[in-house]
Amino acid sequence: MNAPARIAPRAQVQARIAVLGVGTVGRAFLQRWRTLHGEGLVHVANSRGAFAPEDAGTAEARCRERFGSLEDGFAAAEHALGEAGMRIVVDATASEAVAARHAHWLARGIHVVTACKLGQGAELARWRAIRAACAASGACYGDAATVGAGLPLLRTLRALRAGGDRIHAIAGVLSGSLAWLFDRFDGLRPFSRFVREARAAGYTEPDPRDDLSGEDVRRKLLILARTAGVELESADVDVESLVSPALAALPAAAVDGALDALDAPLRARFAEAYRNGERLRFVARLEQGRARVGLASLPADDPLAGGAGTDNRVAIWCDRYRERPLVIQGPGAGAEVTAAALLDDVRAILCEAGQWKASSSSSSSAGRTRCSPG
């Protein structure tokens, strides 16, 4: 007879949690939180208003308060969190304004868990402000979801450095959408066709220039570099955009009709790589303090040449992995894996505070968060 299934005990949460963003990632996080019977949601909002926490992110969601401005929204979140105790902001937005608020919350002792790259992947001053706020208040900054949708990239870099290793180089395929495009592109069918397919499947942003420009990859490389101890400014990263100046200048409504301009130059790049027995990949690379993002032609046995679909693939060279790099690979995009990474970081914060009763099916080790990033 089969043993009865073990049911994880109800999470013991006295924290007050505010979730900002109810798009695909925010909704997936809320669903996971409710599945684990997590209590403590006191505020759920997007840029327009706040929702009743008990049904936020569902078809029955009710807006209970409209915001006149972003400042009104921030004030509502901070009022709901209160002035003391265990307080956590979960940032499931892609908002510059919300990211600019991270250091403020941390300085007030409010933990921040985020999928937004604009906190640590923007100007260096903001990254330093986040570090300083964590150090001063003891608040944690959960950032596992910002690069690789929760793959153990930042955690691994921190563990290597904590063990005395120096990071010599990092190279990676860091964009799920660009990974998918160059995995599918065969030089026979137009590249623009694959871009349209990727957009229809939800792999790219509605305006695919956001993916093709390489700016998202730049931010991810900045986060990796800074975590590895290399404090680069955004301008220090050389970015080869796939978007021509003419395509970049078009209004969003005209982009689809102009995507064919991508075809000839990328067909030529593919043909050259094919003649050399190589594969095209959009690669971010950090070595000897220099950082570059762009299209690369890689030998078939290169650690970044493999992978499939939207997989991210990152190679790390350090003192203990000098000749053969440590390679980390897995799904690097998608609402579910990103939401799971957010939840892991929230659970890690709660476990450290003794406010989450872990079970064999709910371990706190996977999403360990550092209270001082970098």
Tokens encoding 368: 């360990």
Closest CA to 29 of 185, 149, 130, 124: 149
User: Phi/psi class of residue 26: alpha, beta or left (left: φ > 0; alpha: ψ in -120 to 50)?
Assistant: alpha
- Residue 26 annotated in ligand binding: yes
The verdict on whether residue 205 carries a ligand-binding annotation is yes
Q: Which one-letter DSSP state was computed for residue 92?
A: -
Has 113 been labeled as part of a binding site? no
| Residue among 220, 279, 285, 368 flagged as catalytic | 220
Residue 239, annotated as binding a ligand? no
d(CA 286, CA 69): 40
Q: Is 23 annotated as a binding residue?
A: yes
Of 336, 160, 44, the C-alpha closest to 344 is: 336
Query: Pick from 89, 342, 131, 90: which is nearest to 223 by CA?
Result: 131
Q: How many helices (H) and strands (E) does the chain have?
A: 14, 13
Any known ligand binding at 289? no
Cβ proximity of 120 and 226 under 8 Å: yes
The secondary element (H helix, E strand) that includes residue 178 is helix 176-184
| 242 closest CA partner among 310, 301, 296, 187 | 296
Task: Give CA–CA dist 241/264, Å, rounded.
Answer: 15
21 annotated ligand-binding residue: yes
Token representation of residue 67: 């915001």
CA distance 325 to 86: 40
Of 7, 10, 13, nearest in space to 36 by CA = 10
**150 annotated to bind ligand:** no
Asked if 107 and 133 touch (Cβ cutoff 8 Å), the reply is yes
What is the spatial distance between Cα 185 and Cα 176, in angstroms, rounded to a whole number? Answer: 14
- What does residue 358 show for φ and ψ, rounded to 5 degrees? -75, 150
Catalytic status, residue 357 = no
Q: Indicate the annotated binding residues.
A: 21-26, 93, 117, 205
Cite the annotated binding site for NADP(+) by residue number. 21-26
What residue numbers does the annotated binding site for NADPH cover? Answer: 93, 117
Residues with catalytic function:
220
